[in-house]
Amino acid sequence: MKPLDLANLKGKVRITKAFADYKVKVMPEGGKLRVKKVTRMPELGGEWQFVENGEDFTIEIVSAHEDFTISYVHSFPGVW
């Protein structure tokens, strides 16, 4: 597993069903990391561009035993 630095976690992300770099639980609000979906190159922590290949890291969406929680936002991504 890659080291976990939520404040700087940004990049191209691919969702998998198994063997992901991180297991993530999506919460309506209050997630440890606020994620903004972007279509351009992610520059800030919390900006994720979802891709089918060429990813920087992979995630698996889970309902329990997560590495961390996320909430999707339209602005102000990152750790709060």
Residue 69 lies in a domain: yes
Residue 44 lies in a domain: yes
Residue 66 lies in a domain: yes
Q: What is the pLDDT of residues 24-54, one digit of tens each?
A: 999 999 999 999 999 999 999 999 999 999 9
Residue 1 lies in a domain: no
Please state the three-class secondary structure of 3-57 as a single string.
CCCHHHCCEEEEECCCCCCEEEEECCCCCCEEEEECCCCCCCCCEEEECCCCCCE
Domain hosting residue 43, numbered range: 6-75
Residue 27 lies in a domain: yes
Model pTM above 0.85 = yes
Residue 63 lies in a domain: yes
Into how many domains does the chain fold? 1
Residue 57 lies in a domain: yes
